[in-house]
């Protein structure tokens, strides 16, 4: 392996991968560094967490995606420090690698707003490990409920609390409700999963606040029809092994899921530049860092201001920035003037459950089946490999007609003794 590359990309998410492919097509010298060996399709991560999809459905080996680009090197490592003055980075494997251009696309993690002790009791949802942990907590709770003799314990095990009313929180709450009311409805004899309680807690005055108020109201109504109790204008004050405490009540629960906030990678702190409250780097209109035109920050790691607003942490933003930055690097080789990044907003969408979704594209607002069908089509379209497209389409079709979910194994808690 070399110790110098023309372009180094940290992170193989939507931003990093799109930048790499564009540079790879021009046969440019590129190194991708990622802590995992796969590209994760995060918009469908909640479906792994709710047993709708298997991990392999939404995670694709990075090397497989980039196998046709022979000038791109991929290594599984972690960057620990970036020296922007010397154009040098250091990795966990003790490698020192220099670069001409650096693209930082490290994504984000969930933030507990200074209450990191809550993470033990309320996992967030940003990685495959997170999704598998949540899935097994949900499924194992029903298994324990079947054996429990104390009704209070059964109630705590079958009460689910999702904190945060953004897209992830809404999608999680809706999916858990469908598991309880449909998927597991006839699977147990000692308990009735339909008696499960699902709470969605949001400290604002509406869910999905990035959408128009009428679509937010529609989403709330759809959640309530599924059996979700939506608590607005409610602040969480404590989370422990017994449940969730708010300003005015306590919810006894063994299943709390955190979807209330994000923070950028701590790696960005080593750049010694100005960060916003989410830990993102304030970048220029070409996605570069002030005084360092060869250092680009994109996706969830960047605080990019456009038309008096900061771009949201969405996959389309990262994807477009990745392609844009790659084009900037190619243009620099020709001494062309850099044009400012211009985000093309193709709209936003969120799904609440089967046949229930909302979609907003500028002044166009759609809800119900049409929005849900569009949501399904768009997510299938943007999956990287054909195998994933087929696998997910088959899983969704099966679930649509049967209400069943196929990825319901509890592998982490398998007994040491198995039946012959």
Burial class, 409, CB count within 10 angstroms (exposed 0-12 / middle 13-18 / buried 19+): middle
C-alpha to C-alpha distance for 157 and 151, rounded to whole angstroms? 10
Determine the distance from the C-alpha atom of residue 115 to the mean position of all C-alpha atoms in its chain, rounded to a whole number: 21
Comparing 61-65, 249-253, 306-310, 411-415, the range with the smallest average pLDDT is 411-415
Angstrom distances, CA of residue 52 to CA of 55, 56, 251, 307: 10, 12, 27, 39
Sheet holding 255-258, edge to edge: 228-231, 197-201, 159-163, 255-258
- Is the pLDDT at 62 greater than 90, yes or no? yes
Span 183-204, pLDDT tens digits: 998 999 999 999 999 999 999 9
- Is the pLDDT at 406 greater than 80, yes or no? no
- The tokens describing 159, both together, are 């009460």
- Quote the pLDDT of residue 409: 80
Q: How confident is the model at residue 410 (pLDDT cuts 50, 70, 90)?
A: confident
C-alpha to C-alpha distance for 30 and 19, rounded to whole angstroms? 10
Residues with catalytic roles = 171
Closest CA to 356 of 159, 170, 125, 163: 170
Averaged confidence pLDDT in the chain: 94
C-alpha to C-alpha distance for 54 and 177, rounded to whole angstroms? 19
- Is the pLDDT at 417 greater than 50, yes or no? no
- Quote the pLDDT of residue 412: 55
CATH numbers and ranges of domains, the chain:
4-110+262-332 (3.50.50.60), 113-260 (3.50.50.60)
Q: Where would I find the beta strands (DSSP E) of 158-291?
A: 159-163, 197-201, 228-231, 236-240, 243-246, 250-252, 255-258, 262-264, 281-282, 288-289
């Amino acid at each position: 392996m070399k110790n110098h590359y023309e372009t180094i990309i940290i992170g193989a998410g939507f931003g990093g991968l799109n930048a790499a492919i564009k540079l790879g097509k021009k046969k440019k010298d590129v190194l991708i560094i990622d802590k995992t060996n796969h590209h994760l399709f995060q918009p469908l991560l909640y479906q792994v967490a709710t047993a709708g999809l298997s991990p392999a459905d939404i995670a694709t080996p990075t090397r497989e995606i980039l196998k046709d680009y022979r000038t791109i090197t991929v290594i599984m490592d972690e960057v620990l420090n970036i020296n922007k003055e010397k154009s040098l980075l250091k990795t966990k494997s003790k490698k020192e690698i220099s670069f001409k251009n650096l693209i930082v696309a490290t994504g984000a993690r969930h933030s507990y707003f200074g209450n990191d002790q809550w993470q033990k009791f309320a996992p967030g949802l940003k990685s495959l490990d997170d999704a598998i942990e949540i899935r097994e907590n949900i499924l194992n709770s029903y298994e324990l409920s079947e054996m429990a003799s104390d009704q209070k314990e059964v109630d705590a095990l079958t009460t689910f609390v999702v904190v945060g009313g953004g897209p992830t929180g809404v999608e999680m709450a809706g999916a858990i409700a469908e598991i309880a009311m449909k998927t597991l409805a006839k699977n147990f004899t000692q308990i009735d999963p339909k008696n499960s309680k699902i709470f969605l807690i949001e400290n604002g005055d509406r869910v999905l606040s990035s959408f128009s108020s009428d679509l937010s109201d529609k989403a709330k109504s759809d959640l309530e029809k599924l059996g979700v109790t939506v608590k607005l204008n409610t602040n969480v004050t404590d989370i422990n092994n017994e449940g969730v405490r708010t300003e005015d009540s306590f919810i006894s629960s063994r299943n709390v899921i955190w979807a209330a906030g994000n923070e950028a990678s701590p790696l960005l702190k080593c750049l010694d530049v100005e960060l916003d409250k989410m830990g993102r780097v304030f970048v220029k209109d070409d996605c570069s860092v002030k005084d360092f035109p060869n250092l680009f920050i994109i996706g969830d790691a960047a605080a990019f201001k456009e038309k008096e607003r900061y771009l949201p942490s969405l996959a389309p933003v990262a994807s477009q920035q990745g392609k844009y930055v790659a084009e900037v690097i190619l243009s620099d080789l020709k001494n062309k003037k850099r044009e400012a990044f211009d985000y093309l907003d193709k709209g936003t969408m969120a799904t609440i459950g089967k046949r229930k979704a909302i979609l907003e594209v500028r002044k166009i607002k759609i809800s119900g089946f049409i929005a849900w069908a569009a949501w399904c089509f768009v997510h299938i379209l943007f999956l990287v490999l054909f195998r994933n497209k087929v696998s997910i389409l088959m899983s969704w079709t099966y679930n649509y007609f049967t209400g069943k979910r196929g990825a319901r194994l509890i592998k982490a808690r398998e007994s040491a003794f198995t039946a012959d």
